[in-house]
C-alpha cells in the first residue's frame, strides 16, 4: 500500500520527468528549426508556417536505430 508521502513523491517525480521530456523535445524542435534556416523564436513564427514545420518535423522522426516510428506512436 502506498503511503501519502510515497504517493506525493511518485507524483512529483512523474511531473519532473514530464517537464524534462518536454524541454528536451522542445530543444529538438528548436534544433530542427535552426537546420531549416529558421531564426525566429517558436512563438514568433506565423501559424501556417509553424504548422508546416511541425508536420515536417514529425515526419523526420526516427528511432535511435534509424527505423521509422509507427505513425500512432510518435506522440
Q: Which residue has the higher pLDDT, 63 or 11?
A: 11
Q: pLDDT for 9-59, tens place per residue?
A: 778 888 888 999 999 999 999 999 999 999 999 999 999 999 999 999 988
Q: Radius of gyration (Cα) for the chain, nearest Å? A: 17
Q: What is the pTM of this model?
A: 0.70
Amino acid at each position: 500500500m502506498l503511503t501519502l508521502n510515497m504517493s506525493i513523491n511518485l507524483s512529483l517525480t512523474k511531473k519532473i520527468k514530464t517537464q524534462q521530456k518536454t524541454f528536451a523535445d522542445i530543444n529538438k524542435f528548436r534544433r530542427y528549426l535552426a537546420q531549416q534556416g529558421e531564426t525566429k523564436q517558436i512563438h514568433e513564427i506565423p501559424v501556417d508556417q509553424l504548422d508546416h514545420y511541425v508536420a515536417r518535423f514529425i515526419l523526420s522522426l526516427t528511432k535511435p536505430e534509424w527505423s521509422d516510428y509507427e505513425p500512432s506512436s510518435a506522440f
